[in-house]
Homo-oligomer: A and B are copies of this chain.
């Protein structure tokens, strides 16, 4: 089972690394980190991930994961990336996005007429691609699953793990990453955050 992550400069690393940490544990999982060319891909904060494959080195995949970040917003007209996303989607059992990765799925034409989610700051942009924004953390439409901002990729991946295997296997993944969240504040969505916090977060 090949799990392909499409990565690019300016990605939000946690969008990819959250799902990776869950999905890599599944039986038979192999991971490919795919970009324009093999080699370093730069996230903010001096973090670089190494792409293992160029776009044309991956024939197809079972699971596609498209992360977001400022780099995703900048790539909604990147023909090579969008072509690769369409090509992977043509072969995949599951096509997924985290955060503003859904803008790339949308720009690739995969979300027209579908319910989808994204980071709270990108909901209007998502709708310009013909998707219907739904304020949920994980949205499934057929084989397409979109997740809300950044950390939502972990929740998405655990749901996907159950779809790919079974509940016990997915639950074991959750236990292995000790995902028993205890956030110190209850402000992780726009609906819960104060106006002051929303302003501080750039909303």
Are B181 and A189 in contact (CB-based, < 8 A)?
no
Are A175 and B190 in contact (CB-based, < 8 A)?
yes
| Interface status of A172 (Cβ within 8 A of chain B) | yes
Q: How many Å lie between the Cα of A99 and that of B194 in the bound state?
A: 32
Q: How many Å lie between the Cα of A17 and that of B48 in the bound state?
A: 11
CB distance from A203 to the nearest CB of B (A): 7
Q: How many Å lie between the Cα of A119 and that of B52 in the bound state?
A: 29
Are B178 and A185 in contact (CB-based, < 8 A)?
no
Q: How many Å lie between the Cα of A177 and that of B189 in the bound state?
A: 9
Are A151 and B181 in contact (CB-based, < 8 A)?
yes
Interface readout for A155-168 with B: 1 if CB under 8 Å, 0 if not? Answer: 10011001000011
| Interface status of A202 (Cβ within 8 A of chain B) | yes
Are B14 and A31 in contact (CB-based, < 8 A)?
no
Complex partner residue of A21 from B14, B171, B192, B194, CB under 8 angstroms? B14
Are A171 and B185 in contact (CB-based, < 8 A)?
yes
| Interface status of A76 (Cβ within 8 A of chain B) | no
Q: How many Å lie between the Cα of A202 and that of B178 in the bound state?
A: 13
Are B183 and A179 in contact (CB-based, < 8 A)?
yes
Are A180 and B174 in contact (CB-based, < 8 A)?
no
Interface readout for A27-42 with B: 1 if CB under 8 Å, 0 if not? Answer: 0011111000000100
17 other contacts beyond A30-B46, A149-B176, A174-B183, with CB at 8 A cut-off?
A14-B17, A17-B47, A21-B150, A46-B52, A47-B49, A47-B50, A150-B179, A151-B178, A158-B184, A171-B197, A172-B200, A172-B201, A174-B188, A177-B188, A179-B181, A180-B192, A181-B183
Among all A-B residue pairs, the 5 with the closest Cβ atoms: A149-B178, A180-B188, A24-B45, A172-B200, A181-B181
